[in-house]
């Protein structure tokens, strides 16, 4: 049972390494995907990597594998330190990690073989879904048992977000994947579209967002050497995100026959999202004010601050593109792909990396293997993400305004070709960042300690 050995912080370490591996796999799959869009004939027609199969392989690997694992690994550490109690069971933690990873791997292989439930972010087949749900339930149980034994009575806001995030995710995953319908993973007609987008937005809003916010609330006050500006504000943000994010998924369906009352609810809810988002940003900004030097000097703090900046941009864009008048131009084109990368990679993924770099030295008791490589990865992610944003937003505006003027989809394709080539090229920065990150994270966690390295030189 050495795979499940009882090593302190073993679960967090293994989650971090998994995240780094999935980042390389996920960005590589994204790159092949992008090659299809830039040069559709180049890769021929190999069944297991056609665009339709590869796209969900990419999205699920990056969402659950890369960002999910980074944030879940951090969650195991921050619950432990904030409650001043060791994790209830490292063995259980490792077991949940293995089930998590094997499910992601099985989901990726089965998608490439053509097994899919064909609903966005819920493509994995039923048996894979069962694995994910079991892993989530085990993690929740383990962390809850830790909380029950806690030495610290005050529940700092990061704990609220971690526990809230796990509970929300368990339920949205169950209902969103229609788990009671194993053969299809779907119900029928318009209600299914509504359910699918309740789930689709839940994955980013109730899984990635709360866990990323938990990490930001943990890292920023420590690197700033200053208490959080307001605990009350942090809890207002927690409860409003729960109240609002749960029912805005229909903003993905404004141009469908979904009921009008639901669309109105989704649009007004999307505007109201400004409340939970601003509580987080204002609170952390007032904590950081005058102390940005400290943030910049810390590798983890730097990643987290960059992630928060993308959070501002994503969440200014989000409510605006939920307005029908704007969605007329932005819907179903590359504008949304830019927004998706901004949210999942720019915001949640960058904060996930921040959590990894911040926590690693604290659990290994030695510095990061190479600060310089971490800094290179930081710049590659920042430049890659900024490039994606510019190129995809421009391509989206060309498509959207062309369609609005009556142009057909295929006649606009030559005009966005250059943007697709640029996107594939910029994607290489992110693949490179992933490879550098994997090496650095592996060496920091399991490599030769810096002192021994010096001694051997
Ligand atoms: C870890 C980093 C990344 C994350 C978190 C990420 C996330 C996502 C997400 C959420 C989507 C779905 C977008 C939507 O449906 O609106 C997507 C699609 C896509 N991503 Fe990524 N991605 C990452 C890196 C990359 C890289 C490096 C490339 C390579 C160029 C890439 C290329 C693509 C492509 C081609 C699509 C499909 C776009 C389409 O359907 O038109 N991604 N990605
Ligand atoms: C204030 C908060 C936000 C609002 C109001 C919002 C709103 C929207 C809207 C209206 C769309 C659909 C656009 C369309 O199809 O025309 C969308 C798509 C998307 N959003 Fe957001 N967003 C917000 C924040 C975020 C965050 C923080 C993330 C990531 C963590 C995120 C990830 C995504 C993704 C992945 C999609 C693409 C879904 C697809 O595949 O079609 N959003 N968002």
Write the pLDDT tens digit of every residue in 321-367. Answer: 999 999 999 999 999 999 999 999 999 999 999 999 999 999 999 99
Q: To test the ligand 2 pocket, which listed residue (273, 329, 339) has its Cβ within 8 A of the most ligand atoms? A: 339
- 178 three-class SS: coil
Residue 67 has pLDDT above 50, yes or no: yes
Task: State the pTM of this model.
Answer: 0.96
Which of 268, 266, 272 lies closest to 247, judged by CA? 266
CB 352 within 8 A of CB 437: no
Residue 452 has pLDDT above 80, yes or no: no
pLDDT band, very low/low/confident/very high, at 7 (cuts 50, 70, 90): confident
Q: Is the CB of 438 under 6 A from ligand 1?
A: no
Q: pLDDT value at position 6?
A: 72
Residue with CA nearest ligand 2 atom 43? 318
Task: Give ligand 2 pocket residues (Cβ under 6 A).
Answer: 120, 200, 204, 208-209, 251-252, 270, 273, 277, 314-315, 318-319, 321-322, 327, 330-331, 336, 339-340, 343-344, 347-348
Q: To test the ligand 1 pocket, which listed residue (19, 21, 24, 33) has its Cβ within 8 A of the most ligand atoms? A: 33
Q: pLDDT value at position 450?
A: 52
Structure tokens at 357: 């770099």
Q: pLDDT value at position 379?
A: 98
Q: Is the CB of 204 under 6 A from ligand 1?
A: no
Q: pLDDT value at position 290?
A: 94
Residue 456 has pLDDT above 50, yes or no: no
Q: Is the CB of 344 under 6 A from ligand 1?
A: yes
Q: Is the CB of 430 under 6 A from ligand 1?
A: yes
pLDDT in tens, 120-155: 999 999 999 999 999 999 999 999 999 999 999 999
pLDDT in tens, 237-279: 999 999 999 889 999 999 999 999 999 999 999 999 999 999 9
Residue with CA nearest ligand 1 atom 21? 30
Could you give the C-alpha distances from 399 to 40, 335, 414, in angstroms and in order? 18, 9, 11
The set of residues, in sequence order, having a beta carbon less than 8 Å from that of 90 and lying 6+ positions away, is 5, 6, 7, 8, 9, 10, 11
Residue with CA nearest ligand 1 atom 13? 337
- Which numbered ligand comes closest to the C-alpha of 240? 2
Query: Could you identify the atom of ligand 2 that is nearest to the CA of residue 271?
Result: 5
Q: What is the DSSP string of 286-332?
A: HHHTT-HHHHHHSHHHHHHHHHHHHHHHHHHHHHHHTSHHHHHHHTT
The rounded percent of the chain whose pLDDT value lies above 70 is 97
Q: pLDDT value at position 2?
A: 57
Q: Is the CB of 427 under 6 A from ligand 1?
A: yes
The set of residues, in sequence order, having a beta carbon less than 8 Å from that of 266 and lying 6+ positions away, is 247, 248, 249, 250, 251, 253, 254, 322
Q: pLDDT value at position 8?
A: 87
C-alpha of residue 290 to centroid of ligand 1, in Å: 36
Residue 457 has pLDDT above 90, yes or no: no
Q: Is the CB of 123 under 6 A from ligand 1?
A: no
Residue 234 has pLDDT above 70, yes or no: yes
- Which numbered ligand comes closest to the C-alpha of 330? 2
Q: pLDDT value at position 1?
A: 44
pLDDT band, very low/low/confident/very high, at 49 (cuts 50, 70, 90): very high
Residue with CA nearest ligand 2 atom 35? 340
Rounded mean pLDDT of the chain?
95
C-alpha of residue 335 to centroid of ligand 1, in Å: 12
Judging by beta carbons within 10 Å of its beta carbon (0-12, 13-18, 19+), is residue 191 exposed, middle or buried?
Answer: exposed
Residue 451 has pLDDT above 60, yes or no: no
Q: Is the CB of 275 under 6 A from ligand 1?
A: no
Residue with CA nearest ligand 1 atom 30? 427
Distance, in Å, from the CA atom of 111 to the CA atom of 230, rounded to the nearest integer, reads: 45
Mean pLDDT of 224-246: 95
Q: pLDDT value at position 454?
A: 46
Q: pLDDT value at position 429?
A: 98
Residue 434 has pLDDT above 60, yes or no: yes
């Amino acid at each position: 049972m050495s795979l499940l050995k009882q090593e302190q912080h073993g679960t967090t370490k293994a989650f971090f390494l998994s995240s780094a591996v999935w980042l390389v796999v996920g960005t590589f799959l994204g790159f092949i995907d992008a090659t299809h869009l830039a040069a559709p004939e180049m890769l021929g027609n190999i069944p297991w990597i056609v665009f339709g199969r590869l796209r969900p392989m990419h999205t699920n690997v990056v969402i659950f594998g890369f960002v999910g694992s980074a944030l879940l690994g951090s969650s195991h550490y921050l619950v432990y330190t904030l409650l001043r109690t060791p994790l209830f069971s490292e063995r259980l933690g490792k077991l949940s990690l293995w089930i998590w990873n094997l499910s992601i791997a099985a989901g990726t292989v089965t998608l490439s073989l053509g097994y899919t439930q064909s609903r966005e972010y819920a493509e994995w087949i039923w048996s894979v879904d069962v694995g994910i749900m079991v892993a989530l339930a085990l993690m929740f149980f383990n962390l809850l048992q830790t909380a029950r034994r806690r030495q610290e009575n005050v529940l700092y806001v990061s704990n609220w977000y971690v526990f809230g995030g796990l509970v929300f995710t368990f339920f949205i995953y169950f209902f969103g994947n229609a788990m009671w319908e194993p053969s299809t993973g779907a119900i029928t007609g318009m209600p299914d579209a509504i359910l699918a987008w309740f789930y689709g937005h839940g994955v980013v809003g109730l899984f990635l967002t709360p866990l990323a916010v938990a990490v930001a609330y943990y890292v920023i006050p420590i690197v700033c050497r200053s208490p959080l500006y307001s605990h009350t504000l942090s809890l207002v943000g927690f409860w409003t995100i729960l109240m609002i994010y749960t029912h805005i998924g229909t903003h993905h369906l404004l141009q469908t026959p979904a009921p009008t009352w639901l669309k109105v609810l989704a649009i007004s809810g999307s505007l109201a999202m400004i409340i939970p988002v601003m509580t987080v940003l204002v609170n952390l900004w007032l904590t950081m004010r005058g102390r940005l030097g400290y943030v910049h000097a810390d590798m983890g703090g730097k990643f987290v601050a960059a992630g928060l900046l993308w959070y501002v941009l994503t969440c200014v864009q989000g409510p605006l593109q939920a307005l029908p008048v704007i969605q007329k131009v932005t819907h179903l084109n590359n504008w949304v792909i830019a927004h998706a990368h901004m949210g999942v990679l720019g915001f949640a993924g960058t904060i996930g990396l921040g959590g990894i770099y911040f926590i690693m030295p604290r659990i290994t008791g030695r510095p990061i293997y190479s600060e310089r490589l971490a800094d290179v990865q930081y710049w590659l992610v920042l430049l890659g993400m900024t490039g994606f944003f510019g190129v995809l937003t421009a391509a989206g505006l060309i498509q959207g305004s062309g369609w609005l003027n009556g142009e057909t989809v295929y006649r606009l394709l030559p005009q966005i070709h250059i943007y697709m080539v640029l996107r594939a090229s910029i994607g290489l920065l992110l693949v490179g960042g992933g490879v550098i990150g994997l090496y650095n994270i592996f060496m920091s966690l399991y490599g030769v300690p810096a002192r021994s390295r010096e001694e051997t030189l």
